[in-house]
A = this chain, B = another copy of it.
Amino acid sequence: MNTHHSTSQNQPHSTSDIAQTTLLRQAQNAKAASYILSTAKTAKKDATLRAMAEILSNRQEEWLAANALDLAAAKEAGMRPALLDRLTLTPERIAGIVEGIRQIIALPDPIGRVDKMETRPNGLIIGRRRVPLGVIAIIFEARPNVTIDAAALCLKSGNVCILRGGKEAICSNRCAAALMREALAQAGLPQDCICLVQDTSRETANRLMHLDGYVDVLIPRGGAGLIRTVSKEASVPVIRTGEGICHIYVDSDADPDMAAKILYNAKCSRPSVCNAAECVLVHEAVAGAFWEKALPLLAQHHVELRADEAALALLKSLGAPAVPATEADWDTEYDDYILAVRTVADPEEAISFINAHGTGHSESIVTADYFKAQRFLDAVDAAAVYVNASTRFTDGGEFGLGAEIGISTQKMHARGPMGLEELTSSKYVIYGEGQVR
């Protein structure tokens, strides 16, 4: 690859300059390591993952101590309880993370498989071989488990990772990265197969988005703001993940009871995740029967309903805690016990609305009508389209991928949950005997 980033002629003098120089050196080392890791045998990668699991388990005291430093600082800074919980490591959680590594060891290695090998009329033998992407940079929130998951998935798929986690988890991440790098050394792979960006400033994150020639793919995991910044700023290829404004469309031919249970699950089982529903579209013909079933369920979590005019009147008449929706509500990912409610006259209106306001994540129709179900599957433009099921199933584990590094909401490269296969590229290999064209 051509690399257009030369190191500065001058000595670095500010903290920022030093961080930039460090990042560039790290990226160069990562690229060099990727040429070794890309041709490493599965047995060696699995041995490294086993060493990682053992070290993280046997030396969890170090990791817990580092995490305690992060937690103390976060409490002092007044972090919200939900975020504090995501930042927290416990022996049980570490056991879960280690179990995750063991599951990744058990997954088949996608690298090296050759698809579609054939002999062309001129005798050339042409095949398409699965190869790693190379160097994958991941920008993510302050969740220590993501650090390990991402590193393990990248390693198994032959990719070097450059991890840039949230600043609130920096001590936990430094410790985890050091332990994982010990495992790499133990198994005889370059330590730079797993790199952690030590400087958590925005400037350095921004610089990471422009490491053309070193970073093959950038995966941002986090809020809508991060994803928008990355899409706007990055010159390296990006896989957008996560943003999820998901809809449940309750059709006139829906079983009201099934629809209520699906909506309740999609909204309330875990409202902070991207596959949770944010909006329900209700066919006017079924609205009364549906809400009669749905309201008692939603009331268990005091779900606030933000409804259009038609729905508002009905909901109020049923004594529900509904307020008028504004235009902004149709484009908001609440990640909370709030639900937008809209009335539609037919499935086509639901489809158009979803295609206009969805984020291409997960969408579901509840109906007993065959043709409407098929039409919804055909016409809705999203990573996962459901008939009679909760959107909460959009997940690597639920889809049978074993593990996932994120859920792509773009159409290029990968769409939906991304497992090991989605962390690969291809390379045509051609065997000749002197052929010229």
| Residue positions of A touching B, CB distance < 8 A | 1-3, 35, 38-39, 118, 120, 124, 126, 128, 131, 133-134, 212, 216-217, 231-232, 235, 237-239, 245, 255, 258, 261-262, 264-266, 269, 331, 355-360, 373, 377-379, 381-390, 392-394, 398-400, 410-413, 415-416, 425-437
CB-CB under 8 A for A400 and B434, given A384-B428, A428-B416? no
Q: Output the least CB separation between A38 and chain B (Å).
A: 7
Q: Are B217 and A265 in contact (CB under 8 A)?
A: no
In the complex, the answer to whether A232 meets B231 with C-beta atoms within 8 Å is: no
Which chain B residue lies CB-closest to A134? B411
Check A262/B399 contact, CB under 8 A, given A385-B428, A412-B413.
no
- Other-chain contact of A434, B258, B384, B393, B399 (Cβ < 8 Å): B258
CA distance A360 to B431 in the complex (A): 18
CA distance A217 to B237 in the complex (A): 12
| Closest B residue by C-beta to A31 | B355
A-B contacts, 6 listed (Cβ < 8 Å): A3-B356, A217-B411, A264-B436, A384-B428, A389-B435, A416-B428
Query: Chain B contacts of A261 at CB under 8 A?
Result: 434, 436
Contacting residues, chain B, for A386 (C-beta < 8 A)? 430, 432
B389 touches A134 (CB 8 A): no
Distance of A137 from chain B, by nearest CB (Å): 13
Contact in complex: B262, A436 (CB < 8 Å): yes
Contact call A432/B389, Cβ cutoff below 8 A: yes
Among the listed B216, B377, B388, B426, which residue makes an inter-chain contact with A433, where contact means beta carbons less than 8 Å apart? B388
Q: How far is the CB of A300 from chain B (nearest CB, A)?
A: 14
Q: Besides the contacts A269-B436, A388-B432, A388-B435, what 5 more A-B pairs have beta carbons closer than 8 Å?
A: A126-B399, A217-B411, A261-B436, A392-B436, A416-B428
A1 with B387: CB separation less than 8 A: no
B357 touching A2, Cβ below 8 Å: yes
Q: A425-B411, A428-B416 are in contact. Are A437 and B38 (CB under 8 A)?
A: no
Min distance, Cβ A289 to any Cβ of chain B, angstroms: 16
Q: Using Cβ atoms and an 8 Å threshold, which residues of chain B touch A131?
A: 381
**B385–A2 CB distance below 8 A:** no
- Nearest opposing residue in chain B for A261, CB measure: B436
The residue in A382, A431, A435 that gathers the most chain B C-beta atoms within 10 A of its C-beta is: A435
- CB-based contact A379/B35 at 8 Å: yes
Nearest-Cβ distance from residue A365 to partner chain B, whole angstroms: 10
- Bound Cα distance A296, B140 (Å): 58
Q: Which of B39, B356, B359 contacts A379 (CB 8 A)?
A: B39
Q: What are the residues of chain B within 8 A of A381 when measuring CB–CB? A: 1, 35, 38, 131, 134, 427
Cross-interface CB contact of A331 among B2, B126, B382, cutoff 8 Å: B2
Are A390 and B428 in contact, with the CB atoms below 8 A?
no
Chain B residues contacting A120 (CB-CB under 8 Å) are 398-400
The residue of chain B having its C-beta at the shortest distance from the C-beta of A237 within the complex is B412
Which single residue of chain B is at the shortest CB-CB distance from A394?
B428
Quick one: which of B217, B410, B425, B436 contacts A415, CB cutoff 8 A?
B425
